[in-house]
Each structure stands twice: as structure tokens, then as C-alpha cells.
Structure 1
Amino acid sequence: MTKKIRWGVLSTAAIGVKKVIPGMQLGQYSEVTAIASRELSKAKSAADELGIAKAYGSYEELLADPEIDAIYNPLPNQLHVPWTAKAAEAGKHVLCEKPLSITVAEAESLLEVRSRTGVKIGEAFMIRSFTQWLRLQELLREGRIGELRAVTAFFSYFNVDPTNIRNMVETGGGALYDIGCYCIQSARTGFGTEPTRVVGLIERDPAMGTDRLTSALMEFPGGQATFTCSTQTIPYQRVHFVGTKGRIEIEIPFNAPKDRPTRLFIDETGDIFGSGIVTEEFATADQYTMQGDAFSKAILEGGEVPVPLEEGIANMAVIEAIFRSAESGGWEKVPSGRVAK
């Protein structure tokens, strides 16, 4: 019988209850055995609905459970680092929802915590464990499109609810933190290096104060990347990787469906009418199942988690630089010395 990592979940956040937990429950190496809320009734309700054995009325009780190996932390953004640190101090491995933190300095504080406690800490960019993204990296390494020169991404949804945490400045809301982080991750994954400088343009909601439309240009050693993200436009998402000999397009890059196959398109002809496009289709799968299993397997085998702390810090450095650029109106350097895996 395959050994499974026993997971506990901090809070009944929608991303966990609706997507991550159901996915992890299907895993070969993962099982969700406990969930906690600051209101016991909420924890019990979620546990009953999802078939989770234990429900706790406080996060502290969950962290004190000796039968929990790892914690999934989907708390609001401003609580990511504090509770990830507390979980690590309790001897639990931690998969923390993106974005890892609100600032680079805050994220870097977890390096000392990880070193002292010896646990694994990773950021929950589920795309990095998913089939179509693993295939993308293979194609880029093989030189299928020649030298990668440009990455362009778009990610948006429409949400103007002022009570939603995605629209609250104090909880780290706004487009860049919530979904722009995926666009940055896409470019860093493609180039396999860090951008040297960025320039950003931000439009904020006049009432809520969060960035509702954000665009950025990132300069990499080997090329350039651009993206636009928005919390107040029609839902849409695409990523394009363009090289000297071809291009790759991921159809639904971020919210990959779990009820139908996913696809990416490869064009090595340059025919603008698309006659030369080759479609690769991937079997129906749940990216949260794959994320949970990849992290759990790393724990069981002593390997590296899909998106370790260093990766999370590097992504935050780009986010922070884009915010600075929007304020300064000019190019901002991204701290060097971090290399994407």
C-alpha cells in the first residue's frame, strides 16, 4: 500500500474547499485528514461535505495534531507568511497558496524558518506540476521553437464585489497579486532565468484602491515578456511563447479544466492563417491532484518541492518591482542572483 502524506488545511477558503482539497483527495500520495476554521461550525460543515475525518475550531489545534504531516495554507494573502511560519515551527511541511507573501522581505523571513525547522515549504503554483506545463518545458528544452525570444500573457476575470478579499487592499488584493503572479511565473518558467528590469502600468479602482488593470514589460537576458491582468474585464486567459523558429500557445493555461482534455498549439510554419498548427492534447486530469502528489512525493522521497521558497521569493521580487515602477513611472531593476528552475 502506497504511503500517503496526511494533510491538514488552514481555513475553509473557497479555493481549498472547491478546488484544492477535492483534487488532493484523489491523490496517490496525499490524503486530507483535518481542516480548521476559527469557527468550529464552519470546519465541521466543510469536513462533513468533503469527507474529512477531523475538524478543528482553531488553527492552533490543527497545528498541534501529531497525526498531521503537512499543512495547506489558503488563508488571505497577508496571513500567508505568519501562519506558514507557525506551521513550520510546529514541525509541519507547508504548501502555501500564491502569492507567497505581500513583500520580498516578508517572504525571505521564511528562509531562516525553513533552515531552523528542517521542513519543506513551497508555493502553490499548481501549473508547475501540471501536464501541459511540463510538456511546454520539454519542448523549450528540445529547441522546438528555436531560441525563445518573447512571452506574452493575458489573464482576467470580472469581480467588483467590495466585500471579496480580492478587492481589498489590506488583504493583498488586486490583479497583480492575485493573477498577475501567474503571468510572471509563466515568463520566468519559459526563460528559465530572472528578468533584469521591469516597467509597469497600473490603473486602480477609485473606490476600492486595488489595481484592477495592470500591464508590465519584463526584460530577460534572452528576450522580453509582456502581460496584462485585470479583475474588471471579461474572463480570458492565454499564454504565448514565441521563438526564432516557431511558437507555442497554451489554450487554457491557468484554470485548466478537470472535466475535459487540455491543449497546446505548436506552430513552426509561421503561416498567419494557422494552417501549420500542430495540436497536442493531454488527457483529462486535475492539476490540484498533481500538485498535491508532487509535493507529497517530495516529502516522502526527500526531494525538492515543485516551487520552493527561492522560487516564491524570486516571483515576489518581480511583483514588487512592478509596483515600484508604477509609482516611479520608469524602469525598475529586479534584484539579481535568483535563478528559476
Structure 2
Amino acid sequence: MSKPVRFGVLGASDFALHHMARAIHEAEGAVFAALATSSEEKATPFRAFVPDLKVFTDYDALLASEEIDAVYIPLPNHLHVAWSLKAMAAGKHVLCEKPIAMKAGEIDALIAKRDATGLVCAEAFMIVHHPQWQRLRDLLAAGEIGTLERVEVGFSFDNPDAGNIRNRPETGGGALGDIGVYAFGCVRFATGEEPVTITHAEITRENGVDVTAEVSARFPGFAYHGYVSMRMAPFQEARFHGRKGLIVVKTPFNAGVAGLAEIEITDGQGLRWIESFPAVRQYVVQVENFVRSVKEGVTYPWSLEEAKGTQAMIDAVFTAAI
């Protein structure tokens, strides 16, 4: 039996505690072996499910440990590139939360380091691992709804906490970086197309942070319209409207957490049916795919180049914004 990939987590974030650290612990071929955090107290809830967890009070000390093969990075957005580069310099594979960079050009350094070291470095864009999105991509490619004409995506939640990192410019906060990654990346993944131009971009800001963005864009084959907001009631949905039919993706991003993952398909004859994916845990699948990339050299489903494409669209929205 081959040895598991031993993960260290940099930072005791709530998201790591409630989702990714647990996914690493449960994933086949992976071991949640270590946590780096500023205090032992922050490690306590992690030890509730991994009693023998090794705890470092220094990030560099974790990276220096020969007992760690890979790191998961859930740090604030503005720290992602620097710590991903440090981790690869220490010989660790990297799975870093989205957005992996604040500007598309910053990802070039990660690509260069990945290629120079032969390590796996990837953005944790979990939806591409979910069969809901893989099924949608296959349906579009097969022409199930005819020629794709329009895509609409909405993703919102209400986060008024001024102290939250998503609301602080110095930590790389903002709706576009936090959830625009999903609203743009899902369309690029499902269709395989890249935006030609941003035709409209309207951003609402509070305290130097984008809290709502409404975006229209033109892709080679279809028109796109979407919005993301951190100041609206929770909602998420994606619609792919073709000449002959329609596909609605229900709970497209927080599948299994915010609701059931479903795709509702209406074909050219008006026949409507729903396909559901109730048992899939996309964070666990993401870790298992990462492990296969590390151990077997299997191509990871979301490359740094693909992550760069989404960030380039975010950059273009900021440039075009009124």
C-alpha cells in the first residue's frame, strides 16, 4: 500500500475547520497531519477530530517539516501567492484557496515555480470536481439545448461584518475576489470559452471594497450576464439558455451546504427533467483528485492557467467598471 499524502494546513480559518481540514481528514489517500496557527487555543477544535494533530505556532516551521508532503492554504487572499511560493520552495505541493492571486499576472510566478519544481500547485476551485458541473459541460458539448445563446449567473450573501476579511481592502477582500471566481470560472469551465469583451461592469463599493458587481460580457458564442454581492439575501443559480432548450443549475457553488445539487433540463420538445447529485462531497473529491495528481501524475482538473483565465476576467471587470 502506498503512503498517504501528509497535509499541513497554514492557518486555523473557520473555512478550514468546517470544510477543508475535515475533507483532508476524510479523503482517501490523504492525512491531515499538521496545523500551523498562532495559538494552541485555535488548534483545539481541529484536535476534536484529529487528536494526534501536530501543531506548529510558526508557518515556516511547518514548511520545514519533513513529515509534511503538501499544504493547504486558507490564508487571507493577499497572502496566497507569497505562501504558495514559499511552500513550493520548501518542496511542498500546494492546494491554495481561491482566488489564488489578486491579479492575473501574479500567477505567472506560480506557474514558473510549479514547472521548475515539478510540484503540484493548484487553486481550490472545488466546483470543477463536482459531477453536477461535469454533467452540465457534457450536456452543452453534446448540444442538448442547441446553440448556447445566453448565460446568467447570480451569487449573493449578506456579510455586513466590517471586521471580516472579505470586507477589508488590506486583506484582499471584495465580492469579485471571493465569489466572482465562481460566477466567472463556472462559465469558462462549462463552455470552454473565454470572454471577448466586458460590455458592462457596475461596481458598488464600501470602505474601499467591492461589495456588489453587475457584469455583462460577450463570449465568442454567447452573451453573459451575472451579479455577485455580499449585501444581498443568500442566492445562487446559473442558467444556460440555448436555442432549443434551457439548463438551470441549482445550488451551483455550495452544493450540499446551501442546498441540493441539481440540474433542471428543458429540451427542444418542452420535456423537463431534473438530475440530482445528493451524496457528493465536493471538497473531499477535490482533495482526492489532488492526491492522485501528487501520487500518480494524473492531470489536475483545474490548472493554474485556468485559474489565471478567471482572474484575467476579474481584472477586466475592474478596468471596465463605471
In structure 2, how many angstroms separate the alpha carbons of the residues matched to 1:212 and 1:258?
23
CA contact (8 A) 1:47 1:54 kept: no
**Which of 310, 313, 322 is 1:318 aligned to?**
313
Give 1:200 deviation, angstroms: 1.1
What TM-score, normalized to structure 2? Answer: 0.95
One-letter identity of the residue aligned with 1:163: G
Q: Tell me, which stretches of 5 or more residues in structure 1 are unaligned?
A: 330-341
Alignment of 1:2-21 (within 5 A): 3-21=3-21
In structure 1, how many angstroms separate the alpha carbons of the residues matched to 2:301 and 2:3?
20
CA contact (8 A) 1:258 1:287 kept: no
Pair 1:2–1:283, CA change in 2 (3 A): farther
- Please say if 1:134 is aligned against 2:129: no
CA contact (8 A) 2:249 2:262 kept: yes
Which residue matches 2:217? Answer: 218
Which residue matches 2:203? Answer: 202
Q: Does the residue aligned with 2:16 lie in a helix, a strand or coil?
A: helix
Q: How many positions carry a matched residue from both structures?
A: 320
Alignment of 1:54-133 (within 5 A): 54-133=54-133
What TM-score, normalized to structure 1? Answer: 0.90
Q: Does the residue aligned with 2:9 lie in a helix, a strand or coil?
A: strand
Sequence identity (%) = 38
Give 1:261 deviation, angstroms: 4.8
In structure 2, how many angstroms separate the alpha carbons of the residues matched to 1:69 and 1:200?
42
- Please say if 1:307 is aligned against 2:302: yes
- Of 254-263 and 98-107, deviating more is 254-263
Q: Does the residue aligned with 1:178 lie in a helix, a strand or coil?
A: helix
Which residue matches 2:175? Answer: 175
Q: Does the residue aligned with 1:22 lie in a helix, a strand or coil?
A: helix
Give 1:217 deviation, angstroms: 1.1
Q: Tell me, which stretches of 5 or more residues in structure 2 are unaligned?
A: none
Which residue matches 2:192? Answer: 192
- 1:86-106, CA deviations, whole angstroms, 9 ceiling, x for partnerless residues? 001011110110011111222
Which residue matches 1:228? Answer: 227
Give 1:47 deviation, angstroms: 3.5
Q: Does the residue aligned with 2:26 lie in a helix, a strand or coil?
A: coil
CA contact (8 A) 1:36 1:57 kept: yes
In structure 1, how many angstroms separate the alpha carbons of the residues matched to 2:137 and 2:3?
29
CA contact (8 A) 1:21 1:32 kept: yes
- Of 181-190 and 75-84, deviating more is 181-190
Q: Which runs of structure 1 show a deviation greater than 4 angstroms over 4 or more consecutive aligned residues?
A: 258-261
In structure 2, how many angstroms separate the alpha carbons of the residues matched to 1:27 and 1:194?
33
RMSD: 1.7
In structure 1, how many angstroms separate the alpha carbons of the residues matched to 2:188 and 2:141?
14
One-letter identity of the residue aligned with 2:117: T
Alignment of 1:210-289 (within 5 A): 210-257=209-256, 261-269=260-268, 276-289=271-284
CA contact (8 A) 1:262 1:284 kept: no
Give 1:269 deviation, angstroms: 4.2
Which residue matches 2:163? Answer: 163
Which residue matches 1:333? Answer: none
